[in-house]
Amino acid sequence: MESGKTLLAAAQELGVTIESLCGGKHTCGKCKVRVSESNSEESSRKPGRKNPSPFQLEENKFISGQERQQGYRLACVAKLRGDAIIDVPEESRFVPQVIRKELKGISVDLDPGVKSYTLELPPPSMKEPLGDFERLERALGNISGLKDLRMDLPILQTLPEKLRAGNWQVTALVWMDHAVLDIQPGQAEEFYGLAVDIGTTTVAAYLCDLKSGQVVAADSTMNPQVVYGEDVMSRIAYTITHPGNGLDHLQQAILEALNGLAQSTAKAAGILPDRILEMVVVGNTAMHHFFLGINPHHLGLSPFPPAVHRSLDIKARDLGVKIHRAANVHMLPIEAGFVGADNVGVLISERPYIQEEMTLIIDVGTNGELLLGNKERILSASCATGPALEGAHIKFGMRAAPGAIERVRIAPKTLQVKFRVVGSEKWSDECIGAEIGAKGVCGSGIVEAVAEMFTAGVLDRNGRFSKSLSHDRLRPTDKGREFIIARAEETAIGQDIAISAADIRSVQLAKGALYAGAKILMKVLGVKRLEKVILAGGFGSYLDPRRAMILGMFPDCALEKVLIAGNAAGEGACLALLNRSKRIEAESMARRVEYIELTSHPDFTEEFVNAMSLPHQKDDFPHLEGI
C-alpha cells in the first residue's frame, strides 16, 4: 500500500469500509482501528521514523491510555509509512444504514406533471404541407385540447424517425400541458417519476409509476456530502474554505447519490433510468442550494436569505441528473432561510392549514424543523438540534443499522435493562448473550434510554446521575459516570455499551432546542395547549411517543394525539410528483407560513435553559401523570 495515506484512505481503496461519521475530520472518533503489526519501509534509512505516523494529541479525545498501549489509532489521523496489519473492531465497521425513510402511504388523485396521449396522425402529403411537429400538435390538440406546445431539442431531433417508426401511431408524453418531452412509437410504455428527499444525513428516493400513481420502488443512501461536514453549517463552511471547488464537490457528491438512487430504484422496478420523466426534489435550504450549485454563503449569515424562495423547474440534464434526457427536476419552494423545501413537503403532506386542531409538527433530523398552527395561521421555525438524536456525537451512537439498540426498558428498582436491536424481533432478555449482538445505540434508542433512566431514577431532573444511587451498571469514568445499557457479553463489540454524562447532555441540548422552539411558537401564536403533535422524519418513524414526551421533546399533549408520520417530507415530494395541484398548494402555503427566527425572540434563551430539564416542569405535562 502506498505510503503517506491515512489508514482510512488506504482502507477505502482496498474496499474495506470503516465507519467515519465526520468524514475524516478527526471529530467523531468512530474510525478507531488497532494496528497489530507494522513494518516501516524507511526504518533502515531513518530509524526514528515510525509506521504508522506518530500518535497525535487530537486522538487523545477518543483513545484511552490503555487503548493506546494496545495499538489503537484513529484511522483518519494515522498515516501509513510501510506495510501494516490493521484490525478493524466490530464497532468501527461501516454497516449500511437500514432504510428508515418509509412513507406512511400515499393517497392522492392522480394528476401528474407528465401525462401520455396516444395519437394517430395522418401521414404527410403534398396537400397538407405541415411540419412533423405541427402535425403532431394538431392531432394532440384534437384529442386533448392542448395547444401552444413546445418541444425540447433532444426530442425534436428524433421526431421524424419516431413518427415514422410508429407508422404515425405514437404516444406523446407531455409535461404540464405544454412541453412535449418524448414521442414513442405506438402505445406508451409505463413512465415514471422519482420523488427525492435530500436529507443532511440520508437521501431517500421513491420511484412512482405515473400511470398508476403507485410507489413501485424506494431506496435510500447516506448523503455522501458527510465527508465534507456532518451538518449544514460545516458544509457551508467547507464551500467558504474551498472557494475554488468546494461547492462543486458538494454538488457532485449529491448528484452521485441521486444518480445512484435513480439507478437502484429503476433496477428494482425493472426499468432503465431514462424511463423517469420527472423528478421532484425536497431538501433543506442548504441541500437545495448545494444540489443546484448555488453559492450558499449568505445562507449562513443573518438574515440568512436563500437565493430563491419559489419552486423551480430545471432540466435534469442541466444539473447532471441522469434520467430521461428531456426530464425536468421540480424543486419545491423554500419557506425561509433555514426552513426549506423539505418542510414544505411536510406541510403539503400533513396539511395543518386545513385542520381545526392546534397542531405541532416536528421534523426531526440533523436540523429540526417545527410547524405550529391550524387553518387560521401557521408558524415555522428551525432549531439546531445537532446530530445526537441521529446517533452521532454519542459515545456508542450509531446509525439505525442492524445491531443498533433502538428500544430500551429499565426496571425502576432493580435497574434491570432489556433492549431490542434493529434487525431483531426479540428483546434482549429473550435471547442468549452472543445472539443479541448489540453494536451501539441509534437515535430512538438514545431517546428511550435517557427517558427510561430518568423514570427509573438513574437521572435526576437536571440530567445528572443520581448521587444516592449505587449499582453495578453505574460506573465511574474519566469524565463523570456512565450507565451500562448492554453488557459486553450482550454485544458484538466485546465491551459494555453505556450512556455517558456527555451523551445525556447532548440529548438534553437537542430535545431542549425542540421544546423551547415549540414553546416560543406557542407564545407567538398565543396558544396555551397543543391539540395534536406529529413526529416526522426518518427518526420520527421509530420513536416511541410516550418516551419522547417523558424526555420532554415537545410540550404536553394527549398521548393518543401524538402521531408518527414517517418521512413526511418525502411523502410531500411524492404528492407533488403525482398531483400538480399539490405544487400550487406548496407554492401558496410556503408563502403563507410565517417564519419565526427563534434565536431573536427575547424569551428563547430562558426557555431553552428551562427545557434542558427532564421534563422541566411537572405541571407542564399533565398527560405524563402517573409515570
Q: Which residues form the interface with its own copies (CB under 8 A)?
A: 124-126, 129-135, 151, 153, 156-161, 164, 292-295, 297-298, 302-303, 305-310, 312, 314-315, 318-319, 334, 336-337, 595, 597, 600
Q: Are 426 and 420 in contact (CB under 8 A)?
A: yes
Helix residue ranges per DSSP H, 426-468? 433-436, 443-455
Contact 360, 372 (CB under 8 A): yes
Nearer to its own copies, 160 or 622 (CB): 160
Helix (H) or strand (E) segment spanning residue 523: helix 501-525
| Shortest distance, position 591 Cβ to its own copies, whole Å | 10
The distance of closest approach from Cβ of residue 245 to its own copies in the complex, given in angstroms and rounded to an integer, is 14
Residue 605 Cβ, how far from its own copies at the closest point, in Å? 18
Q: Which triple of cell numbers denotes residue 375?
A: 387553518
- 78 and 52 Cβ atoms separated by less than 8 Å: yes
E strands, 501-541, in order: 532-536
Identity of the amino acid at 181: L
Distances (CA, A) of 326 to 195, 255, 287: 17, 17, 24
- Looking at the Cβ atoms of 156 and 474, the one nearer to its own copies is 156
246 by DSSP, 3-state: which? helix
Q: Which helix (H) or strand (E) holds 217?
A: strand 215-222
Return d(Cα 33, Cα 74) in angstroms, integer.
6
We find the least distance from the C-beta atom of residue 310 to its own copies, in angstroms, to be 7
**Smaller CB distance to its own copies: residue 449 or 590?**
590
Nine-digit cell at 522?
Answer: 406557542
Shortest separation between residue 211's beta carbon and its own copies, angstroms: 28
Minimum separation from the CB atom of position 240 to its own copies (A)? 12
Nearer to its own copies, 247 or 535 (CB): 247
Can you tell me the distance from the alpha carbon of 327 to that of 321, in angstroms, rounded to the nearest whole number?
9
Query: Taking the complex as a whole, how short is the minimal distance between the CB of residue 181 and its own copies, in angstroms?
Result: 14
Closest to its own copies by CB, 54 vs 131, is 131
Residue 473 CA: distances (Å) to CA of 89, 480, 481, 551: 23, 14, 10, 21
Least Å from the CB of residue 478 to its own copies: 44
Given a contact cutoff of 8 angstroms between Cβ atoms, the answer to whether 339 and 381 are in contact is yes
Q: How far apart are CA 251 and CA 247, in angstroms?
A: 6
Q: How far is the CB of 312 from its own copies (least distance, A)?
A: 8
Q: Are 364 and 389 in contact (CB under 8 A)?
A: yes
Nearest to its own copies of 111, 134 (CB atom): 134
Minimal distance, residue 311 CB to its own copies, in Å:
11
Instruction: Pick between residue 153 and residue 354 the one whose CB is nearest to its own copies.
Output: 153
CB of 185 to its own copies, least distance (A): 14
Q: In angstroms, what is the minimal distance from the CB of 318 to its own copies?
A: 5
Cell triple for 228: 465534507
Task: Describe the crossing of helices 285-292 and 246-269 by its angle, rounded to 10 degrees.
Answer: 90
Q: Of 316 and 364, which CB lies nearer to its own copies in the complex structure?
A: 316
**Residues 475, 476, 479: CA angle, nearest 5 degrees:** 140
Instruction: Estimate the crossing angle of helix 232-241 against helix 246-269, to 10 degrees.
Output: 130
- Asked if 143 contacts 193 with a C-beta cutoff of 8 angstroms, the reply is no
For 65, the enclosing helix (H) or strand (E) is helix 65-69
324/487 with CB nearer its own copies: 324
Query: 34: closest CA among 5, 1, 75?
Result: 75
User: Given the complex with its own copies, which of 16 and 146 has the nearer CB atom?
Assistant: 146
Identify whether the C-beta of residue 170 lies closer than 8 Å to the C-beta of residue 132.
no
* Minimum distance, C-beta of residue 234 to its own copies, in the bound complex (Å): 19
CB of 304 to its own copies, least distance (A): 8
Beta-carbon contacts of residue 569 (< 8 Å; ≥ 6 apart): 197, 199, 282, 342, 343, 345, 346, 349, 363, 536, 537
* Cell numbers standing for residue 460: 435526576
What is the smallest separation between the CB atom of 307 and its own copies, expressed in angstroms?
Answer: 5
Q: Nearest Cα to 152, choosing from 65, 277, 4, 294?
A: 277
Q: Which is nearer to its own copies, 292 or 372 (CB)?
A: 292
Choice between 82 and 293, CB closer to its own copies: 293
* Residue closer to its own copies, measured from CB, 315 or 409: 315
Helices 443-455 and 501-525: angle between axes, nearest 10 degrees: 90
Nearest to its own copies of 122, 412 (CB atom): 122
Q: For residues 331 and 322, is the Cβ–Cβ distance under 8 A? A: no
Residue 41 CA, distance from chain mean position = 43
* 3-class secondary structure, 380: strand
**Which residue, 125 or 468, is less far from its own copies as judged by CB?**
125
